[in-house]
Amino acid sequence: MATKKTVKSLEDIKSVAPKAAEASAPAVPAAAAPVVANDTPKREPKRDGQGRAYGTGRRKDAAARVWVKPGRGNITVNGKGQGDYFARHTHLLIINQPFLIAKCVNQFDVFCTVEGGGLSGQAGAVRHGISRALNAYDPANYRAPLKKAGFLTRDSRVVERKKVGLHKARRSKQWAKR
């Protein structure tokens, strides 16, 4: 009959633990152990013949078609420079966020066409398109930080429709006591 040993210190636990694990574990042959395979496919870069990667971005009613290629950091939106097309500083910050997150500032030239919506929605669409294009260019390096920042997910918030009998989507008529 096995004698019970009282554990009083950390060294006693270290000496008892391997023996207890061997005694309680059933004998399982190595062939019967489940084999866990890594089923996630390795993502390959998607580039055209000129070395460009493409991404489509959407935000509100705006849609942007974005091409990214190695360069010096020039961003062209509808044939104009980014500073000429987007006058607000916040829009320029939004557009450059994917490069800051992926740590590749001034390494890519961007050519994009954007249509629909207002300037804020268009800036969000360009950001989404740049993120997708960077992901297509080199998924191994850029996917994880862009995914963690949430730039690869389309922002599905759109303007709520106006309802019948109301002034706006939720604004009701003014209440009058008499």
| 112 in Cβ contact with 125 (< 8 Å) | no
172 within domain boundaries: no
24 within domain boundaries: no
Helix (H, G, I), strand (E, B) or coil at 40: coil
- What percent helix, strand, coil does the chain show, rounded to 5? 35, 15, 45
The order of strands in the sheet holding 53-59 is 53-59, 62-70, 108-115, 75-77, 80-81
- Other CB atoms within a 10 A radius of the CB of residue 133 amount to 27
- Predicted pLDDT of residue 43: 84
111 within domain boundaries: yes
| 134 in Cβ contact with 146 (< 8 Å) | yes
5 within domain boundaries: no
Assess whether pLDDT exceeds 80 at residue 110: yes
| CATH number of the domain bearing residue 66 | 3.30.230.10
Number of domains in the chain: 1
29 within domain boundaries: no
Which residue range(s) make up the domain with 110? 53-149
98 within domain boundaries: yes
Give the least confident one: 34-48, 100-114, 121-135.
34-48
20 within domain boundaries: no
Residues 6 or more apart whose Cβ sits within 8 Å of residue 88: 119
Q: pLDDT, tens digit, for every residue of 20-43? A: 556 655 555 555 555 555 666 788
Assess whether pLDDT exceeds 90 at residue 8: no
Residue predicted with more confidence, 155 or 14: 155
38 within domain boundaries: no
- Predicted pLDDT of residue 62: 97
Assess whether pLDDT exceeds 80 at residue 161: yes
